[in-house]
Amino acid sequence: MINCKINGIPVQVAEGATVLDAAKKAHVKIPTLCYNPDLTPWAACGICVVKVEGSNKMLRACCTPAAEGMSVVTNDAELVEIRKTVIELILSTHPDDCLSCPRNQNCELQTLAQEFGIREQSFPKRLNEIPLDDSTGSIILNPEKCIRCGRCVTVCQQMQNVWAIEFLGRGESTRIAPAADVKLGESPCIRCGQCSAHCPVGAIYENDQTKEVWNALMKTGPEAKTCVVQIAPAVRVALGEAFGLPPGTDLTKKIYTALRRMGFDAIFDTNFSADLTIMEEGTEFVKRLTGAFKTGLSIATKDKSLPLITSCCPSWVDYMEKYYPDMIPNFSTAKSPQQMMGAMIKTYWAAKASVDPAKIFSVSVMPCTAKKFETHRDETMYCSGYQDVDISITTRELARMIKQAGIDLVNLPDSEPDSPLGPYTGAGAIFGATGGVMEAALRTAYSLVTGKDLKFVEFTAVRGLQGIKEASIHIGGHEIRVAVAHQMGNIQEVLEQVKAARDSGRDTPWHFIEVMACRGGCIGGGGQPYGATDEIRTKRIRAIYDHDDAKEYRCSHQNPYIQQVYKEFLDKPGSHKAHQLLHTHYEERPLFLK
């Protein structure tokens, strides 16, 4: 431990802690802009500058280690003037269009300008007139607003290992752009949106499609459509943050009410189709597994039938097709819960409700920007004869729509989703957290193989924010090894171990692998409310598992409405009809489009 002082306040911090960490422990706020707790600090902006007493040194608090006996001054007239000047210099290259900016009132630069009382331009404007890039359809890059803090580059390269964006140019000409200066949609970008979630200003943001949703909701007469909506597992435990509620507040039943008041005709829950996903993906895993039991588990893993890898995350699917196309045979063909729900709405539900599927407008509310791309990624997303999901909006977009509608979300009465595509189990709920898909799949896989339900359904080894997690379970007298990876930068290690085992003729390290592109899983998705930290992610995850604990049914195969769907419509998991509607295929995609 190291003893130091912050503005005369004695503080003890662990060795390796920064001056910024020490200040937080002393309850002293040092302003920052380029700093983010998820990322390695690199002191680009200089706003966190502080003084060391007894020397002429001015240091940047975010990257300076605290030292024994150090006495730091974080705030005096000179430091305030320096920070104000830095902010004014940044503003001199930033557009003054806050009212039309998607980050208005939720912008870190705007907040700093207000806190430092900046009311006039001290430096001449020097704007970079660079065209807006909307080529991905999911996220939009507006280079004019970029303040060159480098967060997006660090996220894309270090956290996600995608390398779609980088610094180009030198000096005053430095800018952030897609690699090789191509369009973002032509780059290796996987549309995860973590760049937008970490950008402190409005330089990268989601493609806002709320106007299209409002237009559909307001249509009347012959043009009117039946508007149907589904909400993802992670949305319900994060939406409240946009309304001032603590992270992890579960608003499930109030969201149903809000969506009805907005004008949606039917409210379904993606948790239901998460249960459906488990039935299909779990059956796929069990089929490979039982085949492996017959031939010998080690033989099956060496001939590449195992491991099975989850496919619920569209960013991970995009990454795999670009970086690991040789692993396509190991990818589950099961669609994501979003797309399964879209297909079921315009086939099964449309028939039961006597609604023409051509007249259905299907909306999903997702924590993810890549879901926008997934709705039209290939022909299998049109298996109902129409685009299965018409529009996917993020949690942030839903928050804006609720505010636009003047709905007092916090004080709404509770309500329930519509049947039969609404009721769900605890297994469906935990899909929103890293490890949740794996845990839900194991609960049902065990039952499918043994004919018995687990007495204890919790698999705590696959929970939490550790980048790679491992567990094992005995099924049918065999030890089944599983792995869970989240945050895209961690998956390479997992896949390389699988490939190394194959190349050397050894058994695969794992038989089943779950991957989620974003840190913490969907609860940390690129479309969630801004400002997520590990503390916030942990609270969101805890709320999801609490939701699971409270459910009457904890395993997907126990859901009576899932049983009804198969009995009335799909026949059985893995059937021909199920494959037509609920499964997809993959193909190699070039890293750079020509």
Beta pairing partners, 49 = 60
For β-strands 139-141 and 204-206, DSSP reports them as antiparallel
From 61, 58, 54, select the one nearest 28 (Cα to Cα).
Answer: 61
Interatomic CA distance for residues 156 and 133, integer angstroms: 17
User: According to the 3-state scheme, what is the secondary structure of 282-315?
Assistant: HHHHHHHHHHHHHHCHHHHHHCCCCCEECCCCHH
Strands 2-6 and 71-73: parallel
List the one residue out of 259, 236, 241 whose CA is nearest residue 366. Answer: 236
How deeply is 132 buried, as exposed, middle or buried, from its count of CB atoms within 10 A (0-12, 13-18, 19+)?
Answer: exposed
Which residues are annotated as catalytic? 281, 284, 312, 332, 371, 374, 379, 522
Chain position carrying tokens 């180009």: 168
Lookup: tokens for 374: 């997934």
Helix axes 270-295, 337-344, angle to 10 degrees: 110
Distance, in Å, from the CA atom of 266 to the CA atom of 348, rounded to the nearest integer, reads 14
What CA–CA distances, in Å, run from 473 to 356, 429, 574? 46, 22, 24
Instruction: List the one residue out of 34, 43, 47, 330 whose CA is nearest residue 200.
Output: 34
Cα separation, 443 vs 275, in Å, equals 11
Kindly state the DSSP code that residue 18 receives in the 8-state scheme: B
C-beta atoms surrounding 307 within 10 Å: 23
Contact 470, 461 (CB under 8 A): yes
Q: How far apart are CA 339 and CA 337, in angstroms?
A: 6
> Tokens 């002393």 map to which residue?
26
What stretch of H or E contains 475?
A: strand 468-475
Query: Which spans in 155-269 are helix H?
Result: 194-198, 210-218, 252-262
Which strands form 71-73's sheet, in the order they lie side by side?
9-13, 2-6, 71-73, 49-52, 58-60
Number of alpha carbons in the 13 Å side-chain half-sphere of residue 572: 4
